[in-house]
Amino acid sequence: DQYADKIHQAKAADLRFMQLALTLGRRGLGRTAPNPAVGAVIVKDGVIVGRGWTQPGGRPHAEVEALHRAGRAARGATLYVTLEPCSHHGKTPPCADAVIAAGVARVVSAIEDPNPEVAGQGHARLRAAGIRVDVGLCGAEAAHDHAGHFRRVCDGRPHVILKLAVSSDDKIAATPGQPTAITGEEARSRVHLLRAQCDAVLIGIRTALADDPLLTCRLPGMAKRSPIRVVLDPALRLPGDSRLVHSARSTPLWLLSSEIAEAAAAAKLGAAGAQIIHVADCAETPGLDLAAVLRTLSDKGITRLLVEGGARVAASFIAAGLVDEVWLLRGAQSVGEGGVAALDGLPLSVITDAPGFKIRASDTLGPDSLTIYERS
Ligand code: AOF
Ligand code: ZN
């Protein structure tokens, strides 16, 4: 009947506007840390009157941006927002208060903010002011987009994405220490976009020495979107004439080193623009304690971390159970006998068949394939 039809249409509209808010919020991924990348849409009588997303650096917040654009049209309107509006006086006044002051009639919010300073109080404040608040629409999608914020707030570590590029026979190189072209141009572009959407990218010193990588985002017009580059370099072996050090003044370079690394090496690399950060050694195996590494990065505001290699670092993160998402790029060529296994000592099935992991998405990138696994 007519009444059921109306409800159905209203629900479809809610979904459409929330999906738009999610899309807008994603614009901020990789540039709002330590804040989450939130999206907001304000709708009055079926017309979008304001759109906003968390700005680079994390402020202004999304709702304030959207309210600013809507102006007086926000009165009586509906706000769609991908995270609970904040209720605390942080570096900016509470968004909930701005929403109330603007005369918004209804708020559709995707998910509660686990930040203990907010944690339901934003929604409560809106309701106390007589605003109708509906929570949970597209909650799973929002949780996925805010995974970095949630991990950092709840577990004191970043959301960890492991990228692996393997040949058709699951190798990452033909010979140890020899960079091998595995995937093509489309895959490269996709990885550069992923770098832009992360706060930091991390590799081990072996990969830094073998590949002399730059780890920046080199998509046209997106050079400024490069993540902070992090190298696990316990003994500070990174050469001063590496591309990473040479570019350290334009794109931050953090070297995580053991407390016992030589002071002279630290002084030299520090003078070249790298930031040296001491992290505790692992108690059992040689190398840094990965949990301590993640805690340190989280403390410094990193919410989304991309781990790009190599085999040993990938295997240690997997073995420690510290990977939330795996991007498995597979090329068409095989490398053959003697190639380097993707996960130093571990079969790739620890990811592909892991009980806690499931396929989230897959794609074809030119001759290569991409499969994204995530913790379920
Ligand atoms: C919102 N909208 O767009 C974002 C929010 O230090 P502040 O004042 O910027 O507050 C940071 C906290 O606000 C952050 O930890 C998270 O809980 C929330 N982020 N909230 O209402 C936004 N980015
Ligand atoms: Zn806010």
Q: Is the CB of 86 under 6 A from ligand 1?
A: yes
**Quick check: 180 pLDDT over 80?**
no
Mean pLDDT, the chain, integer: 94
Work out the average pLDDT over 8-25.
96
Separation of CA 130 and ligand 1 centre (Å): 23
- DSSP bridge partners of 32: none
Q: Which numbered ligand comes closest to the C-alpha of 117?
A: 1
Q: Which numbered ligand comes closest to the C-alpha of 55?
A: 1
**Quick check: 193 pLDDT over 80?**
yes
3-class DSSP state for residue 79?
Answer: strand
**Quick check: 173 pLDDT over 90?**
no
Ligand 1, atom 10: closest residue by C-alpha: 90
Q: How confident is the model at residue 313 (pLDDT cuts 50, 70, 90)?
A: very high
Report percent pLDDT > 90 for the chain. 82
Q: How confident is the model at residue 292 (pLDDT cuts 50, 70, 90)?
A: very high
Separation of CA 152 and ligand 2 centre (Å): 17
140-169 tens-digit pLDDT: 999 999 999 999 999 999 999 999 999 998
Work out the average pLDDT over 82-111.
95
31-68 tens-digit pLDDT: 999 999 999 999 999 999 999 999 999 999 999 999 99
Q: Which numbered ligand comes closest to the C-alpha of 113?
A: 1
Q: Which of 24, 32, 35 to mutate to test the pocket of ligand 1 (most atoms within 8 A of CB)?
A: 35
> What is the C-alpha separation between 372 and 327, in angstroms, rounded?
5
DSSP 7-43: HHHHHHHHHHHHHHHHHHHHTTTTTSTTS---EEEEE
Ligand 1, atom 12: closest residue by C-alpha: 35
**Quick check: 13 pLDDT over 90?**
yes
Separation of CA 172 and ligand 1 centre (Å): 40
**Quick check: 91 pLDDT over 80?**
yes
Work out the average pLDDT over 176-198.
90
Separation of CA 36 and ligand 1 centre (Å): 7
196-217 tens-digit pLDDT: 999 999 999 999 999 999 999 9
Ligand 1, atom 16: closest residue by C-alpha: 35
Q: Which atom of ligand 1 is nearest to the CA of 32?
A: 23
Is the ipTM here above 0.90?
Answer: yes
> What is the C-alpha separation between 149 and 128, in angstroms, rounded?
27
Work out the average pLDDT over 325-349.
88
- Residue positions annotated with a catalytic role: 63
Map 270-309 to HEC letters. HHCCCEEEEECECCCCCCECHHHHHHHHHHCCCCEEEEEE
Work out the average pLDDT over 177-187.
85
**Quick check: 284 pLDDT over 80?**
no
311 in a known ligand binding site: yes
Q: What is the pLDDT of residue 296?
A: 97
Q: How confident is the model at residue 18 (pLDDT cuts 50, 70, 90)?
A: very high
52 near 23, Cβ under 8 Å? no
> What is the C-alpha separation between 86 and 178, in angstroms, rounded?
50
Structural tokens at position 235? 């003994």
Q: Could you tell me where the beta strands, DSSP code E, fall in 142-244? A: 159-166, 171-173, 200-204, 228-232
Residue whose token pair is 């990977």: 323
Q: Could you tell me where the beta strands, DSSP code E, fall in the chain? A: 39-44, 47-53, 78-81, 106-109, 132-135, 159-166, 171-173, 200-204, 228-232, 253-258, 275-279, 304-309, 325-330, 340-341, 357-365, 368-375
218 in a known ligand binding site: yes
Q: What is the pLDDT of residue 175?
A: 82
3-class DSSP state for residue 117?
Answer: coil
pTM: 0.96
Q: Which residues lie below 8 Å from residue 375, measured CB to CB, with a gap of 6+?
A: 323, 324, 325, 356, 357
Q: How confident is the model at residue 309 (pLDDT cuts 50, 70, 90)?
A: confident
Ligand 1, atom 13: closest residue by C-alpha: 86
- DSSP bridge partners of 257: 278
Sign of CA pseudo-dihedral 193, 194, 196, 197: positive
